[in-house]
C-alpha cells in the first residue's frame, strides 16, 4: 500500500499543476476563450462517456497493475508533446482526448485494484488516505503551479506533470502484488449496468451524482476565466484560491470516516451535498480572491467528506469480478457529464456573463442536493468498519 500511495502522491501533485496550467495555456498561449476552456474539459472527459463501459468490461478481464503502468507512461508522453510542440487548439483537443482515454483506464483500474491491495475492512481508511493525498496536492499544487506559470510559463509547467506521470508509472512497475487470473467466463457490459442501476443503494447514488457532475463541470469551466477576467486575479492569486480548495479537501478527508460513522454514511453524504450551494453562491458574488478562496474551501471540504465513504461503499458491496464494470459504469457516466456541463457553462459565461453561469450552476447544486436528501441512499450506514446498505 505504501508504494502505491507514493506513486499516487507524485502523480497527484503533478496533475494539480496542470489543472491550473492547462486552462492558462489555452487562455494565454493560444489566446482562447471560456468556451475554448469548456471544449478542453469536454475533450479530456469525453472518453469516459464514449468508452467507459467498454473499458470496465475489458479491465475485469485483465490484470489491473499493467493497465496502471501503461496509462501513466502514455500520459507522460502525450502531455510532454502537447506542452512542447502543440500550438493549435484542435490538435490540443485531440491530445487531451487521448490523455482522457488513458486516464479512464487508469482510474477504473486504480479503484478496482485497491480492494486487491487492502482488506475490505480497511477500504474506508485507505480511500480516505488517498483522498487526503489528493487534497494535500490540491492545497499546494495550484499555489506552486501559479508561481511556476508566472516564472516559467504554462507549457513548461505542464511538462512537470508529464514527468510526474513518468515517475508514477515507474514506481507502480515495481509493485509485486499478486493478482488472480482473468475469469474463465467473460463478463458483459450489461451485467455491470444491471448491477449498478439494479442495486437499491448504488442506483440513487449513481443517478444523483451523474446530474451533480453536469453542474460541477459547468462551474469548473467558468471558474478560471471568471477569476482572471472578472475578478482580475493574477496566476498566483488564482493558485491561492485553488490552494484553499486543497486545504478544504485535506480537512474533509481527515474527518470523513468519523463523520460517516457518527452520522451514518448516508446522512453524512447528503449533508455534504448541500455545501456546494453555499460555496459557489459565495464565488458568484465575490469581488476578490478571499471570497473566491472561501468558496473553493467549502466546495472541496464537502466533496472530501463524502467521496471516501461513498467510494468505499461501492467497493465493499460489489464482488471482485464486477469491480471494473461497477467503477466504469459510475465513473464513465459521471465524468462523461463533463462533456455536457463544461461546454454549456463556458457558452453561458460568454453569452450571458460569468456570474450568471455560476448562479445557474449553484441552482443545479441545490436541485441535486434536495433530490439526494429524498433518496434511499440517506439510509446507508457503516457497521464494523464496513459500509453496508440498510435493508
- Residues 379 and 302: their CA atoms lie apart, in Å, by 19
Nearest partner of 314 among 329, 301, 327, 333, judged by Cα:
327
- Give the model's confidence band at 391: pLDDT under 50 very low, under 70 low, under 90 confident, else very high: very low
Of all residues in the chain, what percent carry a pLDDT higher than 70? 88
What is the average pLDDT value for the chain, to the nearest integer?
A: 83
Comparing CA positions, the residue from 28, 15, 162 lying closest to residue 87 is 28
* pLDDT score, position 97: 93
List, in order of start, the domains of the chain with CATH numbers: 2-174+188-388 (1.20.1250.20)
**pLDDT, tens digit, 9 for 90 and up, residues 25-36:** 888 888 888 788
pTM of the model: 0.70
Mean pLDDT, residues 149-153: 73
- For 82-102, write each residue's pLDDT tens digit: 888 888 888 999 999 999 889
Q: Is the pLDDT of residue 213 over 50?
A: yes
Residues in the chain: 391
Confidence band for 390, pLDDT divided at 50, 70 and 90: very low
The pLDDT of residue 361 = 95
Residue 174: exposed, middle, or buried by beta-carbon count in 10 A (0-12, 13-18, 19+)? exposed
Measure the CA–CA gap between 275 and 151, rounded to whole angstroms.
Answer: 35
Q: CA-to-CA distance for 280 and 79, rounded, in angstroms?
A: 30
pLDDT digits (tens, 9 = 90+) for 343-365: 899 899 989 999 999 999 999 99
- Could you tell me if 321 and 116 are in contact, meaning their C-beta atoms sit under 8 angstroms apart? no
Least confident of 132-136, 222-226, 244-248, 367-371: 132-136
Range among 172-181, 208-217, 320-329 rated most confident: 208-217
**Do 137 and 9 meet the contact criterion of CB atoms below 8 Å apart?**
yes
Amino acid at each position: 500500500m505504501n508504494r502505491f500511495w507514493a506513486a499516487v502522491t507524485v502523480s497527484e501533485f503533478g496533475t494539480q499543476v496542470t489543472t491550473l496550467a492547462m486552462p492558462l495555456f489555452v487562455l494565454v498561449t493560444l489566446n482562447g476563450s471560456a468556451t475554448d476552456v469548456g471544449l478542453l474539459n469536454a475533450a479530456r472527459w469525453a472518453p469516459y462517456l464514449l468508452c467507459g463501459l467498454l473499458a470496465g468490461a475489458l479491465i475485469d478481464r485483465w490484470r489491473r497493475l499493467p493497465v496502471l503502468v501503461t496509462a501513466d507512461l502514455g500520459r507522460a508522453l502525450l502531455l510532454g508533446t502537447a506542452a512542447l510542440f502543440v500550438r493549435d487548439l484542435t490538435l490540443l483537443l485531440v491530445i487531451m482526448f487521448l490523455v482522457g482515454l488513458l486516464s479512464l483506464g487508469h482510474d477504473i483500474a486504480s479503484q478496482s485494484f485497491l480492494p486487491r491491495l487492502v482488506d475490505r475492512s480497511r477500504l474506508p481508511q485507505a480511500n480516505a488516505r488517498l483522498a487526503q493525498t489528493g487534497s494535500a496536492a490540491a492545497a499546494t499544487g495550484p499555489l506552486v503551479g501559479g508561481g511556476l506559470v508566472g516564472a516559467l510559463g504554462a507549457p513548461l509547467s505542464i511538462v512537470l506533470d508529464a514527468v510526474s506521470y513518468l515517475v508514477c508509472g515507474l514506481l507502480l512497475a515495481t509493485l509485486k502484488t499478486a493478482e488472480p487470473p482473468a475469469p474463465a467466463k467473460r463478463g458483459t457490459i450489461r451485467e455491470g449496468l444491471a448491477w449498478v442501476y439494479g442495486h437499491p443503494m448504488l442506483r440513487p447514488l449513481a443517478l444523483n451524482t451523474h446530474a451533480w457532475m453536469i453542474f460541477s463541470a459547468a462551474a469548473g469551466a467558468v471558474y478560471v476565466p471568471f477569476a482572471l477576467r472578472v475578478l482580475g486575479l493574477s496566476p498566483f492569486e488564482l493558485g491561492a484560491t485553488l490552494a484553499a480548495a486543497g486545504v478544504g479537501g485535506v480537512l474533509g478527508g481527515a474527518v470523513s470516516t468519523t463523520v460517516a460513522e457518527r452520522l451514518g454514511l448516508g446522512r453524512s453524504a447528503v449533508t455534504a451535498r448541500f455545501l456546494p450551494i453555499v460555496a459557489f453562491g459565495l464565488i458568484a458574488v465575490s469581488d476578490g480572491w478571499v471570497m473566491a478562496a472561501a468558496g473553493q474551501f467549502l466546495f472541496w471540504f464537502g466533496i472530501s467528506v463524502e467521496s471516501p465513504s461513498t467510494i468505499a461503499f461501492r467497493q465493499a458491496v460489489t464482488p471482485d469480478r464486477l469491480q471494473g464494470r461497477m467503477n466504469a459504469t459510475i465513473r464513465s457516466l459521471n465524468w462523461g457529464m463533463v462533456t455536457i456541463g463544461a461546454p454549456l457553462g463556458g457558452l453561458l459565461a460568454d453569452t450571458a456573463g460569468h456570474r450568471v453561469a455560476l448562479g445557474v450552476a449553484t441552482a443545479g447544486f441545490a436541485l441535486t442536493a434536495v433530490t439526494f436528501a429524498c433518496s434511499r441512499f440517506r439510509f446507508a450506514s457503516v457497521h464494523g468498519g464496513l459500509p453496508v446498505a440498510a435493508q
